[in-house]
Homo-oligomer: A and B are copies of this chain.
Amino acid sequence: MESQTSPIRIGIIGYGNLGRGVEAAIARNPDMVLTGIYTRRDPSQLKPSHAGTPVHAMDSLLAHKGQLDVLILCGGSKDDLPRQAPELAAHFNLVDSFDTHARIPEHFANVDRAAQAGQTTALISAGWDPGMFSINRVMGEALLPDGATYTFWGKGLSQGHSDAIRRVPGVAGGVQYTVPVQAAVDKVRSGVRPELSTREKHTRECFVVLAEGADAEAVRQTIVGMPHYFDQYDTTVHFISAEELAREHGAMPHGGFVIRSGNTSDACKQVVEYRLQLDSNPEFTSSVLVAYARAVHRLRQMGQTGCKTVFDVAPGLLSPKSAAALREELL
């Protein structure tokens, strides 16, 4: 691959935390230009972080087809992406961060059908999990076939679990942190390949603001017993004020580890670990989406159309540098 002569033109679809992160990431990548943000809201009401960023109505997207190289879809996996990604892949190259693991094969098939028909390149499920963590699961298994893979998440704020807390009657606000159990991490790092239950791998820590007159103990019981979300974990509930919630828990840190532990001979244990420590989960996810948008643009230029995932992208395609520069500077 050679370095780009003209910048890659990116369109942002949807402007929440992820869209804002993509806007910030494009500003840090000189080989890209943000053509515009497309929104279903009234464009005049949307205030981008960078005052100069154009905002357009979603309706105008198709008319801008010739001015866009890659779309970055910044909507949610539940309602937005399953509908938007196949629809838009018929006309545009795109990247999304679809993260409902169980529904990835279905989403892939829908997007692939549209991208094959439209001769576009669409990469789904970019981010860190799915995404960077997935790559490390595949490579760990390929390098150490006689081994076991462990994924730990956190310490970090889980959006899904925080939403679940906030739906509990008597809760006025709250957040939930997923915390890896240090003893389990240490055991895995030692190379012994332990069998670990759900409860042994992570704990859950909740910071909750009670609604006026709510019964704290009843709220606690409802949270810790919530099926799937909390009942299989050791969960701690802290009751705090609305002021403390706003002051101490407004950030969205996250991270975690993928560890592959295996043997290359009976005597030799080998441990491979990939670790993320993120001050902002959405901003890091956005940075991944932007790097994969560069790869999508290049794959399309190479005639590789259809639906792709991070497993289909060679590392060199993510970098703005030429293959020769990468070999000389970073190999």
Contacts and interface: CB of A to CB of B under 8 A. Distances in A.
Interface of A: 21, 24-25, 28-29, 101, 104-105, 108, 125, 130, 132, 134-135, 137-139, 141-146, 189, 191, 264-265, 267-280, 283-284, 286-288, 291, 294, 309-316, 318-320, 323-324, 326-328, 330-331
A137 to B, nearest CB: 5
Contacts of A309: 316, 327, 331
Contacts of A105: 324, 327-328
Nearest to A135: B315
6 contacts: A108-B327, A137-B330, A270-B276, A311-B327, A312-B316, A313-B315
A272 B276 contact: yes
Given A274-B273, A315-B135, A267 B291 contact: no
Nearest to A286: B264
Nearest to A189: B277
A278 B267 CA distance: 11
Contacts of A108: 327
B316 A138 contact: yes
A27 to B, nearest CB: 10
A143 B293 CA distance: 11
Contacts of A144: 287
A73 B213 CA distance: 74
Contacts of A271: 275-278
Contacts of A24: 264-265
